[in-house]
Amino acid sequence: MHLYRSALLVIALVTMCLALLAPTAMSKKSSKPKGEMIFAQNCSECHVGGGNIVKPDKPLSQSQKLATVATFKAYLKSPVGHMPYYKHIVTDQASLKALYEYCKTLKPSKQS
């Protein structure tokens, strides 16, 4: 009986340690900065490489909507045309800023 309790105690301690360490391990799993990950998950399908597959003559990388974070947020709050509304980005200041900063790094395509 004593051996059984000791084994359960060890299992419980190991489980607690893993639970405490899991968030740290998960956050280090991706080498992509947060803005790049948000872009990849939400924007890259239509804005490949900073372009615009819906309106190729209006690439994201040269958009006036990237003039300021406030301009960017205002557009994302009320997008036009085919652009979807991403409430989870607009309402999370850290995600919005990370996405904005990443979008500012995008360069115009050499094919334009």
DSSP 48-88: GGG--SSSTTS-GGG-GGGS-HHHHHHHHHS--TTPPP-HH
Average pLDDT of 17-34?
Answer: 57
Q: What is the pLDDT of residue 17?
A: 43
What confidence score (pLDDT) does residue 33 get? Answer: 87
Write down the pLDDT at residue 99.
97
Computed over its alpha carbons, how large is the radius of gyration of the chain?
A: 22
Per-residue model confidence (pLDDT) at position 108:
75
Short-list 93, 81, 98, 80, CA closest to 42: 98
Q: How far apart are CA 11 and CA 7, in angstroms?
A: 6
0.85 exceeded by the pTM?
no
Sign for the CA dihedral angle at 39, 44, 45, 50 comes to positive
Residue 65 identity: K
pLDDT tens profile 34-90: 999 999 999 999 999 999 999 999 999 989 999 999 999 999 999 988 899 999 999
